[in-house]
Amino acid sequence: MFDSFRHGLSKSRWGAYSGQPGGDPGGWWDPSHVVVRRGVLDLESYRDSRFGGRWVSGGVSSAPAVRQRYGKYEVRFRMAPGYGIGGTLLLWPSGPDWPPEVDFWENGGSGRDRHVATATVHYGADNSQIQHDVRADFSKWHTVGVEWTPGLLVFTLDGRRWARVSGQAVPAEPMEMDIQAQAGSCGEAWAPCPSASTPARVRLQVAWVRIYGYHSSSHGPRRTGS
């Protein structure tokens, strides 16, 4: 699947988040915070008077179109700085059980810039985690991705492979790809709540998304859909 958002947000391809994130009393999602302007998808975080002035953000999921086991995912995006406003690009299980989870780009908003991001693999009944950090100015446009094949995850930045995870931590069940912004919870160092320094509006912007399926006969990914 390739989506450049030139014709807006396709409801047959993307579902918009709604409601409170699990385990995060500081966050809230609403579809009205998912907008497309001039072919760019904006996930907007700001205090919304319709929700009592609380911070509300936007998020989307590929679940309506793509839930698959293995594949390759690439997202061209940038995220404005904003203390307490996090962003995540991730693979989430299509079934009812969690983990697994693969965050192939995450910045929790604990700093005042977007210069460090983390890739995290959640696995096992005790939520074991494997993490790797990468540095770049993610307030500028970059392409972040993950290549997921049996027993192996490879994380990429602008086409360069920068980290990998192998073995039992790698999921082997169907997953969907999600892109989300989120206000943090007060008291958590890695994802704090917004402060007086946080801009009134923080945007995670996406230029395009590519999703490839995995074909074992070719031992590699092929793009899914059009």
Query: Could you read off the pLDDT of 66-81 as tens digits, one per residue?
Result: 999 999 999 999 999 9
Q: How many domains does the chain have?
A: 1
For tokens 């975080």, what's the residue? 45
Tens-place pLDDT, residues 197-212: 999 999 999 999 999 9
The span from the CA of 60 to the CA of 158, in Å, is 22
Amino acid at the residue 175: M
Structure tokens at 191: 């994802």
pTM, entire model: 0.93
Structure tokens at 209: 């998304």
Q: How confident is the model at residue 219 (pLDDT cuts 50, 70, 90)?
A: low
Q: Are 60 and 32 in contact (CB under 8 A)?
A: no
Task: Quote the pLDDT of residue 223.
Answer: 55
- Over pLDDT 90: what percentage of the chain? 85
Residue 49 pLDDT exceeds 60: yes
Residue 226 pLDDT exceeds 50: no
Please, which residues have CB within 8 angstroms of residue 149's CB and are 6 or more apart in sequence?
A: 70, 214, 220, 221
CATH number for 102: 2.60.120.200
DSSP assignment, residue 29? B
Query: Residue 59 sits in which domain range?
Result: 2-223
The span from the CA of 32 to the CA of 15, in Å, is 12
Q: Are 63 and 49 in contact (CB under 8 A)?
A: no
